[in-house]
Amino acid sequence: MAMADMRPPIESGCPDGFQYMHPTMRRNFGLWKYHTDPKPGVLRHVAESGEEIFTVKVGTQRILDIFSLRELTSIGDEFADGYIRFTIRSNIEYYVTDESKVDPLIEAVEKLGYVVGGTKNSVTSLSHTQGWLHCDIPGTDASGVVKSMMDELIDDFKSWNMPNRVHITTSCCQINCGGQGDIAINVQHTKPPKIDHAQVSNVCERPSVVARCPVAAIRPAMVDGKPSLEVDEKKCICCGACFPPCPPMMINDAEHSKLAVWVGGNHSNARGKPTFQKLVASAIPNNPPRWPEAAGIVKLILKCYKEDARDWERVGEWVERIGWPRFFELTGLPFTKYHIDNWRGARASLNASTHIRF
């Protein structure tokens, strides 16, 4: 084909965000002087130029239908010059340059049943991975866990009653896009995968499945005259990494796929290195539609944090100061053998460092 006839590539990346920004933000990009917090859920940013803009943060139910979106965006048209933004934690943010419109805007969103908050030292909305709605390998519906948990934490979203801000995350499988948070609720598989041998040769590329296993527990095998796979169950750490490339290696199970709570994660920032989460509660029932056991543990941790942490200590900093034994004493959570990582092969085979191995 001559070059002139070739179809041009379709640019499908992220569009330029500047075109969607409020004009006041565009004009003052990178030129902000300071910000204040007039009340929970409201930020006031002041620019070098003297211009100011108010941000009103509103918690949503995360999975939004078209009717709710229309209602929320019409409020944006009426009070916020038609500019809104959704945050990574599915809060909607309105931008208002006229201070007199802040309270009527809050009144309008609250009338529809939404809550304003999630700024400063509050529990902001939980972030979650996609769950059953969008992904092909979840062991629970992370968005459902989030919705039911936020219903219980609504007062901590609406007020500044925590020592510092709290980020909570959930993830619906054990290996992929799980979040890093002060408190994380993650899936925990407790049994090795069950293999549907009749399907393996039709569906799975066996060498890539063997290569996926972090502990080399999978071997090729012939079963009933058909190429299949077998798992050394003594080695298997029930991570679920073989399930995405080979769905016949089913690891999700109504009884044995549980939830676990991890504590103390934080991304690096200007003041500190990243910190890694530690397991504090395991084998929690994966119990829809309201996940009461997991919510109870999260509320218990938040209560102890609120009572015992110093002002502006994040959850991880609080635990670092008091020590993990004291954390378990204060929360009363049982310390079990599952909290000890005694797997000696990790150093040689898990991708725990940035070294490239061949």
Q: Minimum distance from CB of 264 to ligand SF4 (Å)?
A: 20
Residue 242 is a binding residue for ligand SF4 (CB under 6 A):
yes
Position 303, amino acid: K
Of the pair 10, 254, the CB lying nearest ligand SF4 is at: 254
Euclidean distance between the first and final Cα of the chain, in Å? 40
Q: Minimum distance from CB of 146 to ligand SF4 (Å)?
A: 12
Q: Which tokens hold the place of 105?
A: 């805007």
Residue 241 is a binding residue for ligand SF4 (CB under 6 A):
yes
Q: Which tokens hold the place of 7?
A: 């179809």
Give the separation between CA 93 and CA 91, rounded to whole angstroms.
Answer: 6
Residue 221 is a binding residue for ligand SF4 (CB under 6 A):
no
Residue 210 is a binding residue for ligand SF4 (CB under 6 A):
no
Q: What string marks each residue from 180 to 209 as x (binds ligand SF4 by CB under 6 A) or -?
A: ------------xx----------------
Q: Could you write out the DSSP letters of every residue in 247-295?
A: TTEE---TTTEEEEEEE--B---SS---B--EEEEEEE---TTT-HHHH
Q: Are the CB atoms for 288 and 258 separated by under 8 Å? A: no
Question: How many residues make contact with ligand SF4 (CB under 6 A)?
Answer: 28
Selected binder of ligand SF4 within 56, 153, 173, 210 (CB under 6 A): 173
Query: Which among 118, 123, 124, 146 has a CA at the least distance from the CA of 133?
Result: 146
Q: Which tokens hold the place of 101?
A: 């419109």
Q: What string marks each residue from 271 to 300 as x (binds ligand SF4 by CB under 6 A) or -?
A: ------------------------------
Q: Which tokens hold the place of 140?
A: 């629970």
Residue 177 is a binding residue for ligand SF4 (CB under 6 A):
yes
Residue 137 is a binding residue for ligand SF4 (CB under 6 A):
yes
Residue 63 is a binding residue for ligand SF4 (CB under 6 A):
no
Selected binder of ligand SF4 within 166, 172, 295, 302 (CB under 6 A): 172
Query: Which among 319, 344, 190, 332 has a CA at the least distance from the CA of 262?
Result: 319
Give the separation between CA 172 and CA 250, rounded to whole angstroms.
Answer: 15
Residue 248 is a binding residue for ligand SF4 (CB under 6 A):
no
Selected binder of ligand SF4 within 102, 213, 304, 330 (CB under 6 A): 213
Q: Are the CB atoms for 123 and 156 separated by under 8 Å? A: yes
Q: What string marks each residue from 117 to 136 as x (binds ligand SF4 by CB under 6 A) or -?
A: ------------xx----x-
Q: Are the CB atoms for 56 and 102 separated by under 8 Å? A: yes
Selected binder of ligand SF4 within 40, 117, 118, 138 (CB under 6 A): 138
CB atoms inside a 10 Å sphere around CB 215 = 16
- For ligand SF4, the binding residues (CB under 6 A) are 129-130, 135, 137-138, 142, 171-173, 176-178, 192-193, 212-213, 215, 217-218, 231, 236-242, 251
